Structure 1
Amino acid sequence: MIALLSAPSNLGLRPPEPTSVPGTAKAPEALREAGLFARFAEAGALDAGVVLAGRYVDDATPGRLRNQDAIVEHARRLARRIAEIRSEGGFPVVIGGDCSLVVGVGLALRPAGRFGLVHLDGHTDFRNPGNSESCAALAGEDLAAAVGRHWPAIADIEGLGPYFDPADTVHAGCRDDDAELDEVRDAIGLTIRASEIIADGAAATAGRIRDRVDRPGIDGYWLHLDVDILDATVMPAVDSPDTGGLHAGQLTGLLAALAPRAIGAHVTVYDPDLDPDGRYARLLVDVLTEGLGRLGTELSGQSGV
């Protein structure tokens, strides 16, 4: 059974302007208002509550992330809740929040076995201390942290890093001019640009991804979704909108092809502050219910949403 878990964090993002904070912490409730939780509940999904994040403080210093202590504490608590849902036979869908949530996912899964990560994102999020002197915002560095390419304080919490084996990790959705594209191609199992998804189609792309993460020796795979994988004309309500991304139907098709054999998913970076009339929230409700509605059904035999 699908269990929706709210994780309203904005801790991994830089301030949108001085003295302000990112709006992604409002995303779970904005999506609830737009009907997301009701649509899932109609098909039998559970509301698994909320894991609240600490206070946002713009406190980055050299060698240390902005909100680092709060991110680590939130990751630990999120990991415990994900592990509880999975121990009860559930398939978590974590509604964030920003991309730093992947650390909590990794902390939950790493002690339980060998799991793959499918990183669906408009950016590679691979800024790290080896390629940049500007590390500070984990939401732009989350994939690097997930595969052990960041400071140990965030990439090796409790000695569990890397949370995902690089060989079992796929990134899909970055633009052709992504600054870390070449490095990511060399570092992880498979990298697929948004332009390739558009050219090849959702079904073929999903097949390539599953060949990497759904194979003997891997206990399952998790879906990371940053909604900025969508084109800026489709989803401008994100912190870094960009052209060259997917349209809603393409993303829905990709998710629908991957979700049935996924053990869980999280959704990030939608910012209600950039969506005053809620139109993009309503679009995401359609994408997520149609795309993730059959999460885990090929693993458990459940009927899905």
Structure 2
Amino acid sequence: MTIGLTSAPTNLGLRPPAPTSVPGTAKAPEALREAGLYRRFAELGGQDRGAVLPRRYADDARPGVLRNQQAIVEHARRLAGRIEALRADGLTPLVVGGDCSLLVGAGIAMRRAPGRYGLVHLDGHTDFRHPGNSDQCASLAGEDLAAAVGRHWPAIADIDGLGPYFVPADTAHAGCRDGDSALEETTALLGAVVTAAQIRSHGTAEAARRILEVVDRDDLDGYWLHVDVDILDPSVMPAVDSPDPGGLGAAELTDLLVALAPRATGAQVTVFDPDLDPDGSRARLLVDLLVTGLAALGERRPR
């Protein structure tokens, strides 16, 4: 199955790092291109299928409304259309972000597709802040999983009446730290939750087994694979918005992707921030990891 790469250089879901600046994740696709990501996937037969550009960033959060909310909704609809076009052309989508707000666009695409799809959410955080557990909702990149399974405001979790984009029981999360504030809630709600500490203790094969029990079922038509690179330990990948100790090593994440990618319907990579990688070394490391881990993306997905 041929991979179709689409850049989605958005930073709309993140808070500003300082009052007069914007998050650097919008630069990630081109930084990864410079580090060889698109060339190396092309050598494997992948196709570069352009970019889905966001509107201008605005720090406009207010009570009951997310930062950049309307721009996120518009971008999600357009990204969903691009994912659908790639699949119609027989390609497996690989969306190179960008921040985690991209999950809403992917969710819309999967919800509009015939059949029923699960979600694998690999992330250093559960990203499960929502109006039911916090009065601080403002940035979708920390709330994307909650939105994806229908736990957020309808304006973001039920776009075009399609929510929830993924059924909670068809969703597996892996990679959060033991101190994550939503760990208990997500463990009770989702099909599986595997912490980074559990992955390190029991191994990537066991983590993959638990995840695939949830998403690789006969009653599902595939699953979307979300990869936030802050699942890595900051000693490996400090160039992210919210680095937290206790994450995975590069080999552990690579092995997990190798196990999960072949049966995935598509994938997205998020939250790498080139502003925090001045010498480009983390971009090169990430390219090596992604090319190895995602080389077989979609090769054994259900037909």
- Normalising by the smaller structure, the TM-score range is over 0.9
The answer for unaligned runs of 5 or more in structure 2 is: none
In structure 2, the partner of 1:78 is 79
DSSP-derived class of the 1:174 partner: coil
Distance 1:197 1:223 in 2: 17
- The 5 Å alignment of 1:57-136 reads 57-112=58-113, 113-136=115-138
Normalising by structure 1, we get a TM-score of: 0.98
Q: Deviations over 1:20-72 (max 9, x none)?
A: 00000000000000000001001110001000001000000000000000000
Partner amino acid, structure 2, of 1:178: D
In the alignment, which residue of structure 2 is the partner of 1:161? 163
Q: Residues of 1 paired with 2:96 and 2:38: CA distance?
A: 10
Per the alignment, residue 46 of structure 1 pairs with: 47
> How far is the alpha carbon of 1:226 from its aligned partner?
0.3
Q: How many residue pairs are counted as aligned between the two chains?
A: 301
Distance in 1 of aligned mates of 2:20 and 2:183: 32
Name the amino acid aligned to 1:22: P
C-alpha distance in 2 between matches for 1:187 and 1:14: 27
Letter in 2 for 1:138: L
| DSSP 3-state at the match of 1:297 | coil
CA distance in 2, matches of 1:222, 1:155: 17
Report whether the alignment pairs 1:173 with 2:175: yes
Which residue identity is paired with 2:11? N
What displacement does 1:300 show? Answer: 7.6
Deviation readout 1:191-233 (Å, 9 max, x if unpaired): 1100011111111211111111000110101100000000011
1:13 aligns with 2:18: no
Deviations 1:149-181 (A, max 9, x none): 000000000000000000000000000000110
Distance change in 2, residues 1:126/1:300 (3 Å): closer
Provide the alpha-carbon RMSD of the alignment. 0.9
* TM-score in terms of structure 2 length: 0.98
Aligned 8 A contact 2:263 2:302 in 1: no
Letter in 2 for 1:221: Y
Shift of 1:189: 0.9
Distance 2:87 2:122 in 1: 22
Amino acid at match of 1:273: D
2: distance between equivalents of 1:294 and 1:147? 27
Distance 1:188 1:126 in 2: 11
Q: Does the residue aligned with 1:285 lie in a helix, a strand or coil?
A: helix
Question: Could you tell which deviates more after superposition, 44-53 or 203-212?
Answer: 203-212
Structure 1 stretches of at least 4 aligned residues deviating more than 3 Å after TM superposition: none
Aligned to 1:28: 29
Work out whether residues 7 and 96 of structure 2, in 8 Å CA contact, stay in contact via their aligned partners in 1: yes
Q: Quick one: which amino acid aligns to residue 242 of structure 2?
A: S
1:288 corresponds in structure 2 to 290
Name the SS for the 2:95 alignment partner: strand
Amino acid aligned to 1:54? R
What corresponds to 1:204 in structure 2? Answer: 206
Q: Distance in 2 between matches of 1:33 and 1:205?
A: 32
Question: Structure 1 residues 220 and 300 mapped into 2: Cα distance closer, same or farther (>3 Å)?
Answer: closer
Determine the C-alpha separation between the residues in 2 that align with 1:114 and 1:19: 43
Shift of 1:299: 2.9
Q: Deviations over 1:232-274 (max 9, x none)?
A: 1100000100110000000000000100111110000000000
Q: Distance in 2 between matches of 1:163 and 1:209?
A: 18
CA distance in 2, matches of 1:271, 1:83: 27
Distance 1:230 1:85 in 2: 29
Specify the SS of the correspondent of 2:300: helix
Distance 2:207 2:297 in 1: 18
Other structure's SS at 1:41 match: helix
Q: Which of 145, 148, 151 is the matching residue for 1:146?
A: 148
